[in-house]
Structure 1
Amino acid sequence: MKARLKERKTAKRIALRGFLVLKSAAIIILAAIAPATAANLDLTQWQTLGDVKIIDADRAQLSTDAKQDDDGDLGVSAGTFNFSGNPAAAIGFGTPPLLENFLGINASQLDIDGFAYEGSAIKTTISVSRGDKLTFQGQFFTNETAAAIGPFNDYAFLLAAGKVIKLMDVTEAIITSSFFASETAEKTYSYNFTTGGTYTLAFGVIDLTDYPLTSALRIRNVSLIPTNIPETIPESSPVGGLIIFGCFGIGINVVKSKDTEAN
């Protein structure tokens, strides 16, 4: 009788240990998939080339204005649409630094639906995990819609994971602007990183096929939302081993307890 009671107590203690192991493992897993918090990226810490004005940590504006007679056809003086006092950077040839070198890409990557002449950009280096999401708001402005010939399709872009992604262009600027000839509505964008790593992250605006007539980009609220995708736990890892051991221990000891009672 005493031996039987002792076996039952031993079985219960082992089962309890198995339960506690499982509970601890569950807490670890839940912590890994807890809701992520967005981190705002401070634009004052970014590098710039060309006509870029960083307004504050959350806002920046860029243009293709080279402080030449870019918008002379509109009857305005040189530099009217320049934000910073710095001219837009050349692309492919011209006075260095060239925009493609600043971005670490080939000039041909900027030739989207035309030949890229000049532009401006703001960049940073960012480390991400698979599934991390970038979010931001952007708005495009242009004087190309006031051109007597054309217009040429200037555009704004995002550079992420080595890819140049067009955001907006002249064809979408259908709203009359209070400063430029026309503009788009402000849009909210998101980009998901499919592969983890360290990348150049940049925003820019490009003057396509000619130099005259300025286009511009305004960005704000650039944020990175960390991934919610849990990493796979290999069976050989400490956590994986604990889960397997816990389940195995409970199963054996429940059976053992029943067998003891039957005896």
Structure 2
Amino acid sequence: MLLLAGAGATFVFAASPSQAAVINISDFTGWQGIGNFSLSSQQAIISGGGVADTAVESFLGLASGALDTLNSQNVNNASAIKNTITVQAGDVLRFNWRFQAGDYLPYNDYSFYSIGTSLNKLADVRQVGNFGQTASQTAYTFTTTGTYTVGFGVVDIFDQYLASSLTVRTSGGNEPVPEPVTIIGSLAAGVFGVALRHKKKAATKSQS
């Protein structure tokens, strides 16, 4: 087995050159981002309430309207990170992630990853429940040799309040993805109350 590292990824090759590599993300410090995000050598934390969805689509090289189409809802804003990797057909990208829903239905915020122009949902509020969370490991197999933009992101549906978050962690080991830092106690209650008031005002305006 041969290990090679570079550009924030570790390539694990089998003994035979005809066999595919497993690509583990090993470092996020060289990644680019837009909106609300935090990058370190161990993980990336991406939060909603960022920039216009069209800006994120352009940043990731996605088709216009792709974020709306993916979950069949109107995306208000989003945040994302990206990097580029060169792969061979059959190579597998592997990553650990956690989605924390910071909102409640019908504000169906969701998280996603993109490979080139392909957009894939990881989880949404409807799946995990109001203010719920889920964590998993995802593997993506490349069918064509080439250089790809790999992206991760999270979106706000309908508004920009009570943003959800996506944590992506380096995938070299079995260590679970840590939960994003949360605000507790009266401060969290205050933020929640303010956000609810904003939503009620917005709903009143839309009905008038």
The reply to whether TM is greater than 0.5 is yes
Q: Answer whether contact 2:22 2:93 (CA < 8 A) is retained.
A: no
Residues matched between the structures, number? 156
2:131 maps to 182
Q: How does 1:143-182 map to 2 (within 5 A)?
A: 143-145=102-104, 150-174=105-129, 182=131
Higher helix share: 1
The residue type paired with residue 108 of structure 1 is G
Which blocks of at least 5 consecutive residues in structure 2 are unaligned? Answer: 1-14, 173-208
CA gap of 1:194–1:38, structure 2 versus 1, over 3 A, is closer
Higher strand share: 2
**SS of alignment partner, residue 134 of structure 2:** coil
Shift of 1:33: 3.9
The residue type paired with residue 64 of structure 2 is A
CA gap of 1:195–1:33, structure 2 versus 1, over 3 A, is closer
Task: Give the TM-score normalised by the residue count of structure 2.
Answer: 0.68
Which blocks of at least 5 consecutive residues in structure 1 are unaligned? Answer: 1-29, 66-87, 93-97, 175-180, 224-263
- Say yes or no: does 1:91 pair with 2:53: yes
Once residues 31 and 169 of structure 2 are traced to their aligned partners in structure 1, the CA distance between those partners, rounded to angstroms, is: 13
Deviations along 1:124-150, whole A, 9 cap, x unmatched? 0111110110111111112222xxxx4
Choose the corresponding residue for 1:60, options 21, 37, 44.
44
Once residues 42 and 160 of structure 1 are traced to their aligned partners in structure 2, the CA distance between those partners, rounded to angstroms, is: 18
CA gap of 1:222–1:192, structure 2 versus 1, over 3 A, is same
Shift of 1:31: 3.7
- Say yes or no: does 1:110 pair with 2:95: no
Once residues 93 and 162 of structure 2 are traced to their aligned partners in structure 1, the CA distance between those partners, rounded to angstroms, is: 31
Deviations along 1:188-218, whole A, 9 cap, x unmatched? 1111111111111000001122222211111
Task: Give the TM-score normalised by the residue count of structure 1.
Answer: 0.55
Q: Answer whether contact 2:20 2:90 (CA < 8 A) is retained.
A: no
Shift of 1:101: 1.5
More contact order relative to length (CA 8 Å, sep ≥ 6): 1
Q: Answer whether contact 1:103 1:202 (CA < 8 A) is retained.
A: yes
**SS of alignment partner, residue 185 of structure 1:** strand
Deviations along 1:82-118, whole A, 9 cap, x unmatched? xxxxxx11123xxxxx211111122311112201111
**SS of alignment partner, residue 101 of structure 1:** helix
Once residues 24 and 101 of structure 2 are traced to their aligned partners in structure 1, the CA distance between those partners, rounded to angstroms, is: 31
Q: Over aligned residues, Cα RMSD in angstroms? A: 2.1
Identity of aligned residues (%): 34
Choose the corresponding residue for 1:194, options 118, 123, 143.
143
Once residues 123 and 35 of structure 1 are traced to their aligned partners in structure 2, the CA distance between those partners, rounded to angstroms, is: 23
Once residues 143 and 51 of structure 2 are traced to their aligned partners in structure 1, the CA distance between those partners, rounded to angstroms, is: 31
Once residues 107 and 222 of structure 1 are traced to their aligned partners in structure 2, the CA distance between those partners, rounded to angstroms, is: 31
Q: Answer whether contact 1:152 1:170 (CA < 8 A) is retained.
A: yes
